[in-house]
Amino acid sequence: MNSKKPLFLVVEDHPEVAANNCDWLKKLESECRCLTAVNSEQAIERLKLERLDLIVVDVLFGNIRGEQSAKEGLGLLRQIFEQYPTLNVLVYSSEYMRLAPLIKWIDSHEGGFAVANKFDLRSVYLERARSALNGELRIPRELRQKLELTDQEVEILRLLCEESLTDQALASRLKLSKRAVQNHVLRLKEKLGVDALDENQSSFKEDIHNSRVALCVRAGQYGLLRS
């Protein structure tokens, strides 16, 4: 995050819920501006006018018959994937499995993408919002199992596991930024089900080493490395 005040948009068809979600985001970034939109049309208008740091979207919206439908929410997300490929996205919904038809777009999205279940504690909401802002992929296991590795991720996995390259060495070899490599490694851990570790722990360096060993073990189990 730079010195500019972060700008968030919460898309939610219940205004009081949207306001509450904004209040919680201010616990994450006290200086943020948080806007709200009650439908996809308002959200797209905001996207045209403002450069957002994060958009929070529910999957379900009420329709004219008073029923809850995923059509509008999924349509908004697809439009974001197509037109705003680097936008950080948090889906906050109890119906997150409705995202399954968009899994290829989620997989290739360049910005952060995270999912928080409305039934989880608010601390999870804030954790997932932070993950999205950091450009990470954080989604439930049921969705994660539908993801496929990109060619670049397979190459990073091979270099990491077979040549034991550091982040900086990987960045130099692949002509990427160190930050881009770190995000790829985080996505690999997410896709292969290697749990993220707490960077605030005193044994952080040891934990990073162990998590990458676990990543390579999992890759071997899945047959992703050369025999």
Of the listed ranges 47-56, 93-102, 151-160, 204-213, the least confidently predicted one is 204-213
- pLDDT range class, residue 220, cuts 50, 70, 90: confident
Transcribe 150-167 into DSSP letters.
-HHHHHHHHHHHHS---H
Domain ranges of the chain: 7-144, 151-221
* C-alpha span between 70 and 173 (Å, rounded): 43
Of the listed ranges 23-37, 167-181, 196-210, the least confidently predicted one is 196-210
User: pLDDT per residue over 137-186, tens digit each?
Assistant: 999 888 887 888 888 888 999 999 999 899 999 999 999 999 999 988 98
Transcribe 127-188 into DSSP letters.
HHHHHHHTT-EE--HHHHTT----HHHHHHHHHHHHS---HHHHHHHHT--HHHHHHHHHHH
Mean pLDDT of 32-46: 96
Domain 7-144 annotated CATH 3.40.50.2300: yes
Domain 151-221 annotated CATH 1.10.10: yes
Tell me if 7-144 shares its fold with 151-221: no
Mean pLDDT of 46-54: 95
Tell me the pTM: 0.74
Of the listed ranges 63-72, 93-102, 152-161, 191-200, the least confidently predicted one is 191-200
